[in-house]
Amino acid sequence: MTADEDTGPAVEYSLDGMLAIIRLNDPRRRNALSKAIVSGVLAALDRAREDKARAIVITGTGRVFSAGANIDDLQAGWLDGTDEETDPTRLFRALVDSPRVVIAAVQGPAVGGGFELTLCCDLVVAVDSAFFQLPELGLGVIPNTGVARLVQIIGLRRALDVILTRRRVGAAEALGLGLVSEVATADQLMARAMALGQAVAGTAPPGALSVAKQAVQHHARIDWSHVLASLQAVPRAEWQEGLDAFREHRAPDFDRFWT
């Protein structure tokens, strides 16, 4: 695991019977997908494999599931494609390719990369007060993994609506769209997510589950090389202005790019 001096481990791992529990644990930064969290979840996935966990539940500490990518890390390599080792896309692909069923237990808002993380899990249980949002375009960035996964899950027109308008999608609407498998109250969230994992992995053999996942991904194939390349295709000046504005707590000036 990767340590954070302020809050302890950035990612917590535990084993509960047949289930591996992976918890994003940086509530002070709203569990933003920092390099520490990305590498920590990847390490936890390896540990779950070593522990022969039958299913994996990913959740977060605090009121926010994940507020998206860490801005410092975006500017320090991810947007340039110079830090592949901790690029969130590597984590997203590991979740999609995992032979084990992965369930997101979303205890609060899932924004940007946090939303993309849920899109790469197999099943999602969300608390009734949660919402999902992709605000990237307003920062001059694109949700590159979200673009690929949303089209598969909810279709082209609905994906464009969520991506272009950047609006919040509440838990009830997310359930209707198929972004969420089940909605639960806060006190029942983890119990429902774990029950779902046990129902799936406790009544089917590992080989059949793995092949079923692989077959689904084959028929809904993602070009991961394009996912990575599309992020670098965004003009640097645009995302630099968007992220600078975010840091400086001001509205970005995108008008100059239209001229």
pTM to 2 decimals? 0.93
What is the secondary structure of 118-169 as a DSSP string?
HHTSSEEEEETT-EEE--GGGGT---HHHHHHHHHHH-HHHHHHHHHH---E
Q: How far apart are CA 128 and CA 134, in angstroms?
A: 19
| Segment (H or E) for 214 | helix 206-219
Please, which pLDDT band fits residue 4 given cuts at 50, 70 and 90? very low
Question: Total domain count for the chain?
Answer: 1
Q: How many CB atoms lie within 10 A of CB 217?
A: 13
Q: What is the CATH number of the domain that holds 66?
A: 3.90.226.10
Per residue in 225-259, pLDDT (tens digit) is: 899 888 888 998 998 899 899 989 999 999 999 98
pLDDT for res 252 = 95
212 assigned to some structural domain: yes
197 assigned to some structural domain: no
Local structure of residue 33 (DSSP, 8 states) = B
CA dihedral angle for residue 51, residue 25, residue 170, residue 19, rounded to 10 degrees: 10
% of the chain surpassing 90 pLDDT: 79
Q: How far apart are CA 18 and CA 179, in angstroms?
A: 25
Mean pLDDT of 90-119: 97
Q: How far apart are CA 136 and CA 67, in angstroms?
A: 12
135 assigned to some structural domain: yes
Produce one character per residue of 120-134: b if its CB has 16 or more CB atoms within 10 Å, e if not. Answer: bbbbbbbbeebbbbb
- Judge contact between 45 and 96, C-beta under 8 A: no
192 assigned to some structural domain: no
pLDDT at 199 over 70: yes
Backbone angles phi, psi at 254, to 5 degrees: -95, -10
Residues known to be catalytic: 136
233 assigned to some structural domain: no
Could you tell me the residue range of the domain that residue 213 belongs to? 3-187+202-219
Angle (deg, nearest 10), helices 35-50 and 88-97: 20
Local structure of residue 4 (DSSP, 8 states) = E
Beta pairing partners, 56: 20, 102
